[in-house]
Amino acid sequence: MSESQKNLYRDVNELFDVYRRLVPEVGNTYDALPMEVYKDGALSAKVKRLMALSGALVHGCRACIVFQTEHALNLGASVEEILEACSVAISLGGTMAAGETTRVVQYLMEKGLIENTA
């Protein structure tokens, strides 16, 4: 495990803040969509974040994987729910999603939510 997922989360967040300052018209417009999409509706915000995590895993977006995991946790998702969302992604995305799931596992380990029992 080379790259810290917690550091990736921090770095991407900080760098996108720089982008927002440099190009506020795009940054503000971009921010409005997720604020609308991820609020509670027919589906809870937590379920939407778990769905987004599965999509991020299938697509292989490393920043999205960590961000969606953190948002799901903040909305009360359990480790079991997060790992089950990973299972859906593996079912859809095969080996690539399985490989990207290791980012989620590492992030949960870094946060002290699961242990490496190997």
DSSP 16-57: HHHHHHHSHHHHHHHHHHHHHHTSSSSS-HHHHHHHHHHHHH
Q: How many CB atoms lie within 10 A of CB 67?
A: 21
Q: How confident is the model at residue 107 (pLDDT cuts 50, 70, 90)?
A: very high
Contact 46, 77 (CB under 8 A): yes
Q: Please tell me which residue, 117 or 14, carries the higher pLDDT value.
A: 14
Burial of 20 (0-12, 13-18, 19+ CB in 10 A): middle
| H/E element, 87 | helix 79-110
Task: Tell me what pLDDT residue 116 has.
Answer: 82
Helices 79-110/62-74 angle, 10° precision: 120
Average pLDDT of the chain?
94
Task: Tell me what pLDDT residue 20 has.
Answer: 95
Contact 60, 100 (CB under 8 A): yes
Place of tokens 């921010």: 31
Task: Tell me what pLDDT residue 54 has.
Answer: 98
Q: How confident is the model at residue 86 (pLDDT cuts 50, 70, 90)?
A: very high
Q: How confident is the model at residue 2 (pLDDT cuts 50, 70, 90)?
A: low
Segment 16-25, tens digit of pLDDT: 999 999 999 9
pTM strictly above 0.85: yes
Q: How confident is the model at residue 117 (pLDDT cuts 50, 70, 90)?
A: confident
